Structure 1
Amino acid sequence: MAVFTAVTELQLAQWMRHYDLGDVVGFRGIPSGIENSNFFLTTTRGEYVLTIFEKLTAGQLPFYLDLMRHLAAHRVPVPDPVPLDDGKLFGILHGKPAAIVSKLEGSPELAPGVEHCVEVGQMLARMHLAGRDFAQHQPNLRSLPWWQETVPAVLPFLAGAQRDLLTAELAHQQAFFASDDYAALPAGPCHCDLFRDNVLFAHAAPDTGHEVRLGGFFDFYFAGTDKWLFDVAVTVNDWCVDLATGRFDAARTDALLRAYQTVRPFTAAEIRHWGDMLRAGAYRFWVSRLYDFHLPRAAELLKPHDPGHFERILRERLSGAVLPGIHTSCN
């Protein structure tokens, strides 16, 4: 279980005095995730998720919680933070920032089909457009400056081809990020971590004609202001690949990209740099998984993700294989 900070019944009871959520009838740790301590919380008023933030500071947290409230108000299905009795969206539990949010309906689909990718593509574009009038700005904290800081820390654990690839791709991304084309890419609040296990699906009503229904996006605690194309690339690199090889599944990729463009068409600059951004999306998670694997934190039964998965995806993007074309398959 990826729970870094345990919570006793007494501590929970004291904490819940700050909320108007009724009596606690259920409380258990959530085994997924490697960044925060998460718990399912059931009260006489409903179902919620309690999160204790292990890395994010009290100064950083308002961006994430206010963004979720903003998106929820714009009818994007995301967890809605519950205010404490003083109106704030988070407090301090165990000496760390903590918050309670509404629990979404459904469960993750870890073997998605075309219909799931359509739902995700459309909602991701809706989310991007809904964030255009969000006033707060916070950069993606796992973007280029973090890569530049983190790569030197993991390089001593690598050798040969791995070391060469990590340094060469960093140089490529530094040049890409410094380009005029990169500066012109549309940007706004992004999820930045929209993997299969961060999306829920619920059963569709029988009379809708749909096989699946999106329950919502969650785990916004890697969100930041970034290029929308980066968010799409991160999503496609997970939802639309064969997990064993990192190769694209053509049907799922085409479905997600077409669905996204029914809501927000890509710009000419986005089309030109689709390959660069797919590489950036793969690189971001290869670097973070290398860091978690070689420099782990203590946690209860914490198992870091395999860094080799995103190394394979990055190498696949560099292999010369034809990329799914957002200019040909989606217009």
Structure 2
Amino acid sequence: MALYTKLDEKQINKITSVFDIGRVVRFRALEGGSENSNYRIETDDKAYVLTLCEAKSKETVRKLASLLTHLETNGFKSSRVLPTSNGDYLSSYRGKPILLKEFLHGEIVEDLHEETLFEIGALMAALHAVPVPEYMQNRFLYGIETLTVPDAFVDHPFAGWVADAKKTISENICDGLRRGLIHGDIFFNNVVITQDAGPIIMDFEEAGHYYLIFDLGMAIVGSCCDAGIVNRSKVNALVSGYQSISPLSPIEAAKLKPFAAYAASVTACWRFGQFHVIQPDKTKQDRYLEMKQIADTILSIPNEEFCP
């Protein structure tokens, strides 16, 4: 991913001076983040992540900071955001909102072990028990209405597939499905595997108030697939971990499969729009096909074989 804002040592120290963390002795740009510029910075005794939000408004970033502090207050461990010397959690640089978070020491693991997935499932159940903040009530970025393609591509073959997927998914949204605080994007690269605290879920930028099984479905898509193929043993581990804390109701268990397909479909739509219109990139324009294939594969699995 591109580093949108390049900073030198002098600029880094000026930006971080409002956080009272001391002098920065080392820093380096971090990869990843399609809408942010991220730096790992170190003082004499601690490491942090400095995030410059390139596309989000100050209001949106302030709500993200509020959510992270809300999670901490409710005992859910994630990225800890630091306040400035005046108690605000938001700073800015050249008009761009800035957050400073404690660095999570660990590693990103693409091929997650089943034991780890069980832990992640249990963590998700704990997250879903956290009260939804007032400012997030009934808000989520990837509702059923986002299953669409840009207007310029209405004749593209993908448009017909999306229309069919939307119809199938709409038929499976029903009463009896619990809603609550969800992460919305639990792919393997949004989980840090630490030595002392196990897996930690991070990057809550897509969080919202929505169906809990959508979150579980997205985690299946993002953490339980090997080279585009659904690994049912991994699915079983993740869902079993979740149910060890919060058992699914019969209707939720029955609808988990279409909601996992929903998660894959909405991710396919995001990738299609992102790399065809928002940030056109011919080398990535076919990335949506991976998620399309996963959605089709999920729907082909017999119901009784999908949810443990």
TM-score, normalised with respect to structure 2: 0.90
Aligned length: 306
Alignment-mate amino acid for residue 306 of structure 1: R
Once the two structures are TM-superposed, the CA of residue 276 in structure 1 deviates from its matched residue by 2.1
Cα pair 1:125 1:264 within 8 Å, conserved = yes
The amino acid of 2:156's aligned partner reads: A
> 1:159 pairs with 123, 145, 156, which one?
156
Taking the aligned partners of 1:267 and 1:86, their CA distance within structure 2 comes to 46
Q: Secondary structure at the match of 1:98?
A: strand
Q: Distance in 1 between matches of 2:119 and 2:301?
A: 30
1:281 to 258, 263, 266: 263
Matched, 1:270 2:252: yes
CA contact (8 A) 1:275 1:323 kept: no
Quote the Cα distance in structure 1 between the aligned partners of 2:62 and 2:171: 32
- The DSSP-based 3-state class of the residue aligned with 2:18 is coil
Note if contact 2:24-2:44 (Cα within 8 Å) is conserved in structure 1: yes
Equivalent residue runs for 1:1-331 within 5 Å:
1-129=1-129, 131-132=130-131, 134-137=133-136, 139-148=139-148, 151-153=149-151, 155-156=153-154, 159-160=156-157, 162-177=158-173, 179=174, 181=175, 184-203=176-195, 214-244=198-228, 246=229, 248-297=230-279, 306-322=287-303, 324-326=305-307, 329=308
CA contact (8 A) 1:154 1:291 kept: no
Per-residue deviation at 1:250? 2.3
Cα 1:252–1:215, aligned 2, differ >3 Å: closer, same or farther? closer
CA 1:154 to 1:263, structure 2 compared with 1: closer, same or farther past 3 Å? farther
Unaligned stretches of 5+ residues in structure 1: 205-212
Q: Report the CA distance between 1:270 and its aligned residue.
A: 1.2
Give the number of the structure with larger relative contact order, counting CA–CA contacts within 8 Å between residues 6 or more apart: 1
Percent of pairs with identical residues: 23
Q: Is the 8 A contact 1:154 1:290 kept in 2?
A: no
- Displacement of 1:10 in angstroms is 3.0
> Any unmatched runs of 5+ in structure 2?
none
Q: Residue 207 of structure 1 aligns with which residue? A: none
Deviations 1:266-321 (A, max 9, x none): 1233123212211211111101111121124389xx96882221011111123354
Distance 2:21 2:152 in 1: 44
Q: Once superposed, what is the RMSD of the aligned Cα atoms?
A: 2.4
Query: TM-score, normalization: structure 1?
Result: 0.84
SS for the counterpart of 1:164 is helix
Alpha-carbon distance in 1 for matches of 2:40, 2:89: 18
Q: Which amino acid aligns with 1:201?
A: I
Structure 2 Cα separation of the partners of residues 9 and 25 of structure 1 = 9
Measure the CA separation in 1 of the matches of 2:156 and 2:236: 37
Q: 1:40 to 1:163 in 2, by over 3 A?
A: same
Whole-Å separation in 2 of the counterparts to 1:154 and 1:191 = 31
- CA distance in structure 1 between the partners assigned to 2:285 and 2:97 by the alignment: 23
Cα pair distance change 1:307/1:133, threshold 3 Å: closer
SS, match of residue 136 in structure 2: coil
